Structure 1
Amino acid sequence: MSVADAEPHFVFGVQAGVANSLISLDEQNIIFPFGNNAVCFNIEEKCQQFIPATQKSQGMLALAVSGNRRYLAVSERGEKGTVTVYDLQEKNRKRHVLSVEDVPVQEFVSVAFSHDSEYLIGQSGAPHWTLFCWTLQKPTVIATIKTGALSNPIYQVSFSPEDNTRICVCGHGVFKLLHHTVGELKPSKIKKLDNVEFHNFLSHAWVSESQVILGTDTGQLLAFESGVLCWEANVITKPSMLDSESREKQEEAVAVQLPRVTVITAYSKGFACSAGPGMVCLFERTQDGDNYRKTREIRIPSDTRCHDPSQAERQEIISMCISPTEATLSTSTDLGQLYCINLIDTEMSKVKEGGPAQFEFLTHAFHWSTITSLSTCVLKPLIATSSRDLSVRVWNFKTNILELYKGFAEEPLSVALHPSGLSLLVVFVERVTWMNLLIDDFRIFKEFSMKGCAECVFSNGGHMFAAVIRKTIHIYSTTTFENILDLADQSTMARSILWSEDDRMLVSCGLDGVIYTWDTHSGQLASECAHKSCKYTNFSISPDSSTIFAVGTDCTLKEIQDNQILTEVPANTVTYTALALSRQGAVLFCGTTAGSVTVMRCPLGKPKTLFEFQGHAGPITKMVVTFDDQFLLTISEDGSLLIWKIIWNRYGLMWDRKMCYLEEILITKADLERKNNTMQELNTRVQVLNIENQFQLRRKDMEHQRKFKGMTVKFTQHIESLENSNKDLVAEKEQLELDHKALMKEVMEEHTRERKLSQEYVSSRVLELKSQREVDEVKQELRRTEESHRRETDELTGGYESKLKEILLKLQQCEDESQQQRGEYELMIQMIEHDADKEILDLR
């Protein structure tokens, strides 16, 4: 159990190099990667929710969201590459952790959900370049196919938005449409595209169930319908009605760098795509629905506060998303900046403006290079940072906004905020500059010539500041700006310096492995602790100045008292890079090379378990705890500033100091006089305008009175005329009523007569129909009788004929029998006669 928790609260920065690094959940929430976290940023409420990656993750590579925006997939690099699926509706609970067992895959460079969230695909990186397909009901690999090679890397994979059996894969010399069947991925044939291997397909997007748009590194856009090339265009707009010089410059710029189409996003009207550095083009379907036309260009504006304003325009857009209602387009760049634009306003401004629309910052302008220094103050909730991007920025950790931002012609090496929060020291190579923080700018107050200064720090009381120049620490008064002390007994340049809480001591450490403690009143070296085998990189002092906590190159945390090392805590698999002690001195926060924060109780023991909290993607370079012990501030080589919320009351440690911060700001006398003069001029102008308005009102009142009188007379006459006309109309109406009554009487009589005739006609017609019906019935009865008679006659005739035939047949039979009997009789007579003759002969 840790003594306190450090939870990521708010981050100023975005991690570049993550595929599909910007996801719009709804109109208010956007997800982007930071360090080992996915951050859900609420644009309206200005708050963030962190979704941590797995504990041993080596960094994020790709993000994907399901079609119903419920599930988030995060690809992470590691000894075994994984894709973690989070349920965003159940407090970001991990639903699945997908990996591959048979193949040693260390990373998935692109992932995508099917539209019904039933399947998820992941494209592995080098050297295998294999596409894996998982089913999310049972998180197992159901199909694989090799898609790329060492010379043909894959950049993006995706499902069709309406068909979970269609998959698109694009890369360097690779464009494949795959068909997913049960347990198998089969490639489909691509038609009308020659020399695929010579195209570098950087991105693609499905615009319908069967049509996909691809973008190349030469600015080409290709549309394929079911694998057949159906449309081709280029994002480069050829100069037309321009003068010759502008046309030549544009042609030269195009020749130098072709616009890379690094990302494409589809929406209902068509699609949006990047078109080289700092520009997005909107394409809409034509009326025939077969082609697309460019309708709008949107550019990243120059940054006037930066030393090189055109630096912003040269950013490469690496990710893009459109909100569900298609009201907002958001982008992220290779310099870690977030921009957005309202598409509805863009549509409305098409006619009004001739030039391209411009993005605005989604949040604030972040550092785009390593942050080198960090400082905070006491009386204001401000944070000052300096960076290798040649800028100094002041942030507010209460409101989570960027207060001030200024670019310089040279790199600011270090920065220090005065405890009052009204002044700032900025260290340059040749000088140290004292600047006052105004409402909207840094104003140089004094410059100190300090060549080779590496760091400066204000005392806790703000009455002194220390500056490190080579092997000497110079202490200056902030009231007289005089050099009051020089501390010069060090063997090497101090790497880090800290004031004790009462400002009576100044402690420094360097790469010589020695920690020096100085008396700031006498300027004498009070003590030194040498440990030559370790080069100290950072340290912290307890509130009573009795204990020093230090880290260095030997990967251990040391607790030092009276120049003796009391405790050493090893850092296991990471290296400690920075330390910060709470104001109470009860908790020590340690930053690591992995970008995480380890929390330990003070005084140090030998903890059985080190509690590590994930944060940055790069080594933490400096840490500071705010004066109210509520927030931990960390900066990293990844160019981000992270505000951690310190959770005390979870384990019985309570710290509820209520801080009252100053709301006052500084303003110069010249600015104040200018503002007062401006206010006076505006007040005078308001008075003059009031007098002019009163005069105009009186003049208009008089004019209105005159017009009112004229209109009154006019309308009175008109009313009288209308009354007379009304009387005539009433008399005419009465006469018309009499005529109408007489006419109605005649009409009623005529109608009565016609009604009687109609009734008689109806009765006659009814009788006629009845008679006709009776005649028809009689005819039908007669026909039935005749038919019955004919049928009976036929039956009788047939019966008698059959009987006659039977009688004739019997008669014939009788005749035949009679003839046969006659023959037999005659034969018998003959035989008798023969017998008689024979007997007679015998008798003779």
Structure 2
Amino acid sequence: MTSVVAQAHFIFGLRTGVRNNLCFFDEQSVVFPCGNSCVCYNSVQRCQRFIPGSEKSQGMRALAISANRRYLAVSECGEKATITVFDLQHEQGRKRKVLTAGDMLVEEFVCMAFSPDSKYLIGQTGGPEWMLIFWLWEKQKVLATVKTGNSNNSVTQVSFNPYNNMQLCVSGTGVFKLFRYSEGALKQSSFPKVESINFLCHTWMTEERVIAGTDTGRLLVFESGDLRREINMASKAVQEQPDSNSLHRQVELKKIIDTDVDEGPNVPRITAILSYSKGFACSLGSGTVCLFEKNEEDSYRRSKDIRIPPDPYSNELTPAECQEIDTMCISPAEETLAISTDRGQLYSFSLSSLEINKEEHIHFEFLSQPFHSKSITGLSVCIRKPLVATSSLDHSVRIWNYDTKVLELYKEFQEEAYSVALHPTGLFILVGFSDKLRLMNLLIDDIRTFKEFTVRGCRECAFSHGGHMFAAVNGNVIHIYSVTYFENILNLKGHNGKIRGIEWSLDDSRLVSCGMDGAVYEWNTQTGKRESESVLKSCSYTDVAFSSDCKTILAVGTDLTLKEIQDCQVLREVPADEVAHTAVAVSHSGRVVFTGTSSGTIRAIKYPLPIQKEWIMYQAHCGPITKMVITFDDQFLFTVSEDGCLLMWKVIDKDGRGLKSSRQIIHTEEILVTKSDLEEKTQNMLELKMRLEELQMENEYQLRLKDMSYNEKMKELSEKFTQQIESLKTTQQIMKTEMEKQEREHQKSSAELTVKNSKDLKDLELSYSQKLIVEHERYQDLQQKNLRMQEDYEKQLKDAEERKVQSLQELTQRYEARLQEKTQLLVQCQEEAQQQSREFKEIIKQVEEDEERKIHDIQIKYEKKLHTEKEINTNLKGETGLMTQKFYSLQRQIDDRCTDINKLKQERQRLLGLIRSLESDIEDLKRQISGHEKTSQDKDKTISGLKKKNQELEKLKFVLDFQLNDLKKQTEPQQDDIAEKKERIHQLEEELVQIDQSNTQLKLAVSDLRLKLRTRDKEMHKEMQKVKDLETHLQRLKADLHNCVGFIQEPRKLKDSVQMIYARYVPQTDGAEKSSVDEDIQRAFGRHRDHLERTVTSLKTRLAKSAEEHEKVYVKIMKENVSLITEINELRKELRLVRTQVKDYKAQLATFKKSNKSRPNSENGPKKETKHEDAE
């Protein structure tokens, strides 16, 4: 096992195609699937926690988070689908339980949901079963199952009632059902007729109300499982009142169901819906989320629309705001709304700022960073900066900073980017496109092209470690260019198939390459020769790398092995266990080799390579790994895949510490800025400074005016308030006197009341004492009466008991006698009943037989009718299904055609240029085709002639010998002509070399003239800069004069300011001398300029004449060359024809000789043949 391991550190990307692929864990953290793992991302701290998927999984299908935000359920498909429940409060996301469908063979769970108390879990299986399974998940116990759909009615979402653990909702295409768990089974509690409606999502609003969204952009309200009404999306205030008349309501519901089929093709789909405390949010078409707020008991108001912002750097035909929203989720405190889209992007919006923000157009923001939406094709790192570059089939190139986990730069292009390479300094980037290879500058806010190379479809490119060269692959050829001169230094040819991987050695003296032809070549970059080679035609290599000491080569391919090659021999092979390696990377310390596989896993193998299968495997991506690279200091490993994700691994030892590297790299912070951009910015800054000074002056003037006006207002207000204070003081004194009077009166009235109340109290006490005495006497009398009554009732009870005993004895005797009589009667009745039952059974049998015959006849009759009706019904259903399918397919086709038309219109302009360039190629090809047709016609004629000659061979046997001799004599002068023509071509080539030398001399003269022109341009630029400086000088003088106007009423200040202006702008030297000197300089400059212009025009005319003469000579030589080549080609054709004819004649002679030998009577034949042979 290896002493070095890799730990997943950070990932850029989102896995699409997973149901409910975004959930909030807390206010700052979200959970989403990426690669073959689930990621818990903290947006404030910018850190991630990984929950890896299972090893034998074929992919995730759905996520679900519990109501208490503690448990996460992940469904994975395979031979037997599973649902794994993780504990999110545990640091590593501890696995709690693994749930299966029991004995049922289920390939996938389409969607899931936790109950409100997080004890139960429901999972919806896929087709063809479409079973809903209800678990008590902590005990892994299946409580109930029920079939919810079929092949025509698929299910897209399941959910629990948030107010009831035992009630569920299921929705899909033509499916909307409510189930209740009772008595150990799931029972359907509603049967709405919604076969024609395609439900995409739903949410619970109250204990009985569910709102569902359809693919035609409609919101339907269900109450207690029945379809009640539709929310009008166009209106801002939505009133939902129940209908008074049931008949009217049925008509309205029929309209709702019918209109779902009649909707137009451009109606936006509602793909996600979410309820919260204030109302609900739903997606309306592509890139838009509508917020609905609850006003009263049954009304909703459409309050705000939040849109995905347009991408300013995008060149795509379909803009960023046209993304379809897959999932919506809201944070536990309802502060943040987050969404995921079908292009693998994550956005968020702060709901707390919704009331403050009063703008019409509100936009989402990226939750993390803008990710790739398609397969990543290229990956590269640099040395001097912590940057990673990726290229993708989504037409974009992105530059990531792995220290800050931020996307530094990205740009989208018209063509797909196949490969990418970062310069070691991190200031330049090389990108391979379908038409060209472009070298670009990495500016502060842009990726700008400054050189293009004619290398088409470059799938691999790489800078040398020194940065002075780069290699680019074009099919089976490697081109090496100089970075300083941009010249093609070498072309490395030798591969027979496409090249899939290249790498430079550390000293840049060698280059290793591998291809689909099964060859691994080591090239010398100085001479262009092959130093070593290893060819294995049964293996198609996918990637190659040097070892840390550059002595051996490591290669991976389709033969499921990792090979170590040295001196044209394979030293070691490590088998891969049924999974092909697709990429390889070697650490610079030489301790570990990392390989990527076609299943998306990563393997860390100890180096030197072990004899046995020893490695550590990590779950990484959900698609084949396309590229992988290790940073120069061995701290990080980067992997990219066809799933569009960039995964960053921390390379550590087994103790958890980073690898110690002898290479200490200090990252630079310098960036490239063009001179024109800098000049524009400085000019803008100067203009803004001037504007700022003007605004300051204006503001000061207005502040003075405002101070004056406010001072006046303050005086007025102070006077008013002093008057009010005085009036209030007088009113206060009056109120005090009135209060004193009222207090005196209150004291008098309170004293009188106390006297009255004391008298009343004494009277009441006397009256109540007399009443108490009377009541006490009454109580004693009643008590004596009660005692007497008790004694009487006790005597009566005793008498009643004695009577009861006597009556019971008498009754028992009577009933015993009656019982004996009844038993005898019962026996008789039983015998009679048995006889009657026998008789009745016989009668019933006869009646049943008669009735069965009648029923059978009626059943046959009605079964025939039912069969015919069912056939008619199935035919009609099939026709309606076909019509609906045709309608939906036509709608989709119309949408696709509309988008295609827009795309084609935009692509038309791009293709016109290609068509023009290709027209010339077509003309050349047509000429070639016409030549080929002529040759094919000649061949057909010769074939027909030969067939005729074959029939007459026996007659023309002796004539053929003479023809052969004649043909040999004819070919001899033709060969002499060919030799003469070759000598003529050699002479013409020498003349061409002389012309090329004269051409190069002319080019050197032109380059000298261009250098002179550049110097003149620089001088002109300096003069323009002087003019700009004078203009700014003038503007400042105007501004200072404008400031002087403010002191026009104050002479002293005006004089001081004028003196200041004079001292600042008037120079102390003698002005007359300076002006005269300037005039002399200008005259000399003018004369020099005129002289140079004349020389330039004369040189241009000379150059044009020499170019014309050169072209005429070149055209003449080319014409002669063409005529000579055509003559040579014709002579070669004639030679081939003659040779083929000679061979045919020889073969015919041989066959003829054999036939003559076989004849016994022909004696002269052999003698003649020998003569002919001698003649030959």
User: TM range, normalised to the smaller chain?
Assistant: 0.7 to 0.9
**Among the aligned pairs, what percent are the same residue?**
50
Query: Amino acid of the residue matched to residue 454 of structure 2?
Result: S
Q: CA deviation at 1:29?
A: 0.6
Residues 543-552 or 264-273, more deviating: 264-273
Once residues 73 and 689 of structure 2 are traced to their aligned partners in structure 1, the CA distance between those partners, rounded to angstroms, is 59
The verdict on how the C-alpha distance between 1:152 and 1:662 changes in structure 2, with shifts beyond 3 A counting, is same
Are residue 466 (structure 1) and residue 471 (structure 2) matched?
Answer: yes
8 Å CA contact 1:231–1:291 kept in 2: the answer is no
Deviations 1:46-82 (A, max 9, x none): 1111111122111111000011000000001122111
For residue 335 of structure 1, what is the aligned residue in structure 2?
343
8 Å CA contact 1:303–1:309 kept in 2: the answer is no
Query: Amino acid of the residue matched to residue 345 of structure 1?
Result: S
For residue 185 of structure 2, what is the aligned residue in structure 1?
184
8 Å CA contact 1:117–1:136 kept in 2: the answer is no
For residue 682 of structure 1, what is the aligned residue in structure 2?
688
For residue 505 of structure 1, what is the aligned residue in structure 2?
510
Once residues 161 and 300 of structure 2 are traced to their aligned partners in structure 1, the CA distance between those partners, rounded to angstroms, is 20
For residue 1026 of structure 2, what is the aligned residue in structure 1?
none
Are residue 259 (structure 1) and residue 268 (structure 2) matched?
Answer: yes
The verdict on how the C-alpha distance between 1:730 and 1:48 changes in structure 2, with shifts beyond 3 A counting, is closer
For residue 831 of structure 1, what is the aligned residue in structure 2?
none
8 Å CA contact 1:122–1:132 kept in 2: the answer is yes
For residue 163 of structure 2, what is the aligned residue in structure 1?
162
The verdict on how the C-alpha distance between 1:286 and 1:495 changes in structure 2, with shifts beyond 3 A counting, is same
The verdict on how the C-alpha distance between 1:485 and 1:181 changes in structure 2, with shifts beyond 3 A counting, is same
Query: Amino acid of the residue matched to residue 572 of structure 1?
Result: D
The verdict on how the C-alpha distance between 1:495 and 1:693 changes in structure 2, with shifts beyond 3 A counting, is same
Matching of residues 87-102 of structure 1 within 5 Å: 87-91=87-91, 92-102=93-103
8 Å CA contact 2:633–2:665 kept in 1: the answer is yes
Once residues 70 and 717 of structure 2 are traced to their aligned partners in structure 1, the CA distance between those partners, rounded to angstroms, is 70
For residue 302 of structure 1, what is the aligned residue in structure 2?
310
SS in 2 for 1:122: strand
Once residues 153 and 122 of structure 1 are traced to their aligned partners in structure 2, the CA distance between those partners, rounded to angstroms, is 14
Query: Amino acid of the residue matched to residue 78 of structure 1?
Result: G
Q: CA deviation at 1:265?
A: 1.3
Deviations 1:699-740 (A, max 9, x none): 6667778888x789969x969x999998x9999999x79x97
Once residues 129 and 564 of structure 1 are traced to their aligned partners in structure 2, the CA distance between those partners, rounded to angstroms, is 57
Query: Amino acid of the residue matched to residue 685 of structure 1?
Result: R
Matching of residues 538-617 of structure 1 within 5 Å: 538-617=543-622
Q: CA deviation at 1:335?
A: 1.1
Q: Which has the higher contact order (CA 8 A, sep 6+)?
A: 1
Once residues 201 and 722 of structure 1 are traced to their aligned partners in structure 2, the CA distance between those partners, rounded to angstroms, is 72
Deviations 1:273-325 (A, max 9, x none): 222222222233342x2343433332223323111264323322111111112
Q: CA deviation at 1:108?
A: 0.9
Are residue 73 (structure 1) and residue 79 (structure 2) matched?
Answer: no
For residue 288 of structure 2, what is the aligned residue in structure 1?
279
Matching of residues 309-708 of structure 1 within 5 Å: 310-349=318-357, 352-354=358-360, 356-648=361-653, 650=655, 654-655=659-660, 659-694=665-700
Once residues 202 and 172 of structure 2 are traced to their aligned partners in structure 1, the CA distance between those partners, rounded to angstroms, is 10
Once residues 777 and 675 of structure 2 are traced to their aligned partners in structure 1, the CA distance between those partners, rounded to angstroms, is 128
Residues 587-596 or 559-568, more deviating: 559-568
Once residues 638 and 747 of structure 1 are traced to their aligned partners in structure 2, the CA distance between those partners, rounded to angstroms, is 91
SS in 1 for 2:165: coil
8 Å CA contact 1:219–1:234 kept in 2: the answer is no
Paired positions, count: 756
SS in 2 for 1:307: coil
The verdict on how the C-alpha distance between 1:746 and 1:427 changes in structure 2, with shifts beyond 3 A counting, is closer
For residue 832 of structure 2, what is the aligned residue in structure 1?
none
Once residues 585 and 73 of structure 1 are traced to their aligned partners in structure 2, the CA distance between those partners, rounded to angstroms, is 41
Query: Amino acid of the residue matched to residue 531 of structure 2?
Result: A
Once residues 21 and 573 of structure 1 are traced to their aligned partners in structure 2, the CA distance between those partners, rounded to angstroms, is 31
8 Å CA contact 2:271–2:325 kept in 1: the answer is yes
Deviations 1:780-839 (A, max 9, x none): 899999x99xx9xxxxxxxxxxxxxxxxxxxxxxxxxxxxxxxxxxxxxxxxxxxxxxxx
Once residues 634 and 678 of structure 2 are traced to their aligned partners in structure 1, the CA distance between those partners, rounded to angstroms, is 36
Once residues 758 and 338 of structure 2 are traced to their aligned partners in structure 1, the CA distance between those partners, rounded to angstroms, is 84
Deviations 1:174-207 (A, max 9, x none): 22211112421111123xx43x222222222222
Matching of residues 54-73 of structure 1 within 5 Å: 54-73=54-73
For residue 5 of structure 1, what is the aligned residue in structure 2?
5
For residue 246 of structure 1, what is the aligned residue in structure 2?
none
Once residues 746 and 73 of structure 1 are traced to their aligned partners in structure 2, the CA distance between those partners, rounded to angstroms, is 81
For residue 836 of structure 1, what is the aligned residue in structure 2?
none
SS in 2 for 1:454: coil
The verdict on how the C-alpha distance between 1:689 and 1:185 changes in structure 2, with shifts beyond 3 A counting, is same
Once residues 95 and 731 of structure 1 are traced to their aligned partners in structure 2, the CA distance between those partners, rounded to angstroms, is 81
Q: CA deviation at 1:534?
A: 0.8
Q: CA deviation at 1:402?
A: 1.0
Once residues 703 and 53 of structure 2 are traced to their aligned partners in structure 1, the CA distance between those partners, rounded to angstroms, is 69
* TM-score computed with the length of structure 1 as normaliser: 0.83
- Cα RMSD (Å) of the superposition? 3.4
Query: Amino acid of the residue matched to residue 672 of structure 2?
Result: L
8 Å CA contact 2:4–2:591 kept in 1: the answer is no
8 Å CA contact 2:634–2:659 kept in 1: the answer is no
Matching of residues 185-264 of structure 1 within 5 Å: 185-190=186-191, 193-194=192-193, 196-233=194-231, 235=233, 255-264=264-273
Q: CA deviation at 1:658?
A: 5.0
Bigger fraction of residues in helix: 2
Matching of residues 125-164 of structure 1 within 5 Å: 125-164=126-165
Once residues 460 and 765 of structure 2 are traced to their aligned partners in structure 1, the CA distance between those partners, rounded to angstroms, is 122
8 Å CA contact 1:14–1:337 kept in 2: the answer is yes
The gaps in structure 1 that reach 5 residues or longer are 239-252, 792-844
Query: Amino acid of the residue matched to residue 692 of structure 2?
Result: V
Once residues 724 and 268 of structure 1 are traced to their aligned partners in structure 2, the CA distance between those partners, rounded to angstroms, is 54
Q: CA deviation at 1:26?
A: 1.8
The gaps in structure 2 that reach 5 residues or longer are 237-261, 786-1176
8 Å CA contact 1:537–1:577 kept in 2: the answer is yes
Query: Amino acid of the residue matched to residue 285 of structure 1?
Result: K
Once residues 259 and 722 of structure 1 are traced to their aligned partners in structure 2, the CA distance between those partners, rounded to angstroms, is 67
SS in 1 for 2:460: strand
Residues 29-38 or 658-667, more deviating: 658-667
SS in 2 for 1:682: helix
For residue 1021 of structure 2, what is the aligned residue in structure 1?
none
For residue 292 of structure 1, what is the aligned residue in structure 2?
300
Q: CA deviation at 1:595?
A: 0.7
Query: Amino acid of the residue matched to residue 161 of structure 1?
Result: P
SS in 2 for 1:676: helix
Q: CA deviation at 1:210?
A: 2.4
The verdict on how the C-alpha distance between 1:522 and 1:286 changes in structure 2, with shifts beyond 3 A counting, is same
SS in 2 for 1:164: strand
SS in 2 for 1:134: strand
SS in 2 for 1:271: strand
SS in 1 for 2:655: helix
Q: CA deviation at 1:127?
A: 2.2
Bigger fraction of residues in strand: 1
Q: CA deviation at 1:649?
A: 5.1
Once residues 118 and 730 of structure 1 are traced to their aligned partners in structure 2, the CA distance between those partners, rounded to angstroms, is 71
Query: Amino acid of the residue matched to residue 180 of structure 1?
Result: Y
Deviations 1:582-610 (A, max 9, x none): 11121111001111100001111124443
Query: Amino acid of the residue matched to residue 685 of structure 2?
Result: M
Query: Amino acid of the residue matched to residue 153 of structure 2?
Result: N
8 Å CA contact 2:179–2:190 kept in 1: the answer is no
The verdict on how the C-alpha distance between 1:105 and 1:711 changes in structure 2, with shifts beyond 3 A counting, is closer
8 Å CA contact 2:575–2:613 kept in 1: the answer is no
Once residues 376 and 746 of structure 1 are traced to their aligned partners in structure 2, the CA distance between those partners, rounded to angstroms, is 98
8 Å CA contact 2:651–2:658 kept in 1: the answer is no
8 Å CA contact 2:512–2:521 kept in 1: the answer is yes
Query: Amino acid of the residue matched to residue 669 of structure 2?
Result: E
For residue 829 of structure 1, what is the aligned residue in structure 2?
none
8 Å CA contact 2:213–2:271 kept in 1: the answer is yes
Once residues 59 and 727 of structure 2 are traced to their aligned partners in structure 1, the CA distance between those partners, rounded to angstroms, is 94
For residue 118 of structure 2, what is the aligned residue in structure 1?
117
